[in-house]
Amino acid sequence: MSLQAQFTQALTDSKNLPERPDNGTLLKIYALFKQGSTGDATGDRPGMTDFVGRAKYDAWAGLKGTSQETAMQQYVDLINSLKD
């Protein structure tokens, strides 16, 4: 199965996990998905009052320079580890 197909399957699987991951893991899932699907973070960092948006942006920006293929593989591995 190609990496893109695995990534798409992991996206589907992420919506049906047996337990809701903690916030730190959710941020990592979000960041790896964004890096894998669109590349490095773009746009302005959300303001101080947008706590969730800011945390998500910071998590994504923390992966700057990571290739999309690497991020996709890490996303697939993380989702698979959460399914068990």
Place of tokens 């798409």: 8
pLDDT in tens, 6-59: 999 999 999 999 999 999 999 999 999 999 999 999 999 999 999 999 999 999
Place of tokens 């320079």: 65
Q: Is the model's pLDDT at 84 over the cut of 90?
A: no
Q: What fold does the segment set 3-83 form as a domain?
A: Acyl-CoA Binding Protein (1.20.80)
Residue 79: name the closest of 3, 5, 6, 2 by CA: 6
Three-state SS at 65:
coil
> pTM for the full model?
0.93
Mean pLDDT, the chain, rounded, equals: 96
Domain residue spans of the chain: 3-83
**Ramachandran region, residue 65 (left: φ > 0; alpha: ψ -120 to 50; beta: rest):** left
Q: Name every residue whose Cβ is closer than 8 Å to that of residue 6 and which is 6 or more positions away in sequence.
A: 72, 76
Distance between CA atoms of 69 and 73, rounded to whole angstroms? 6
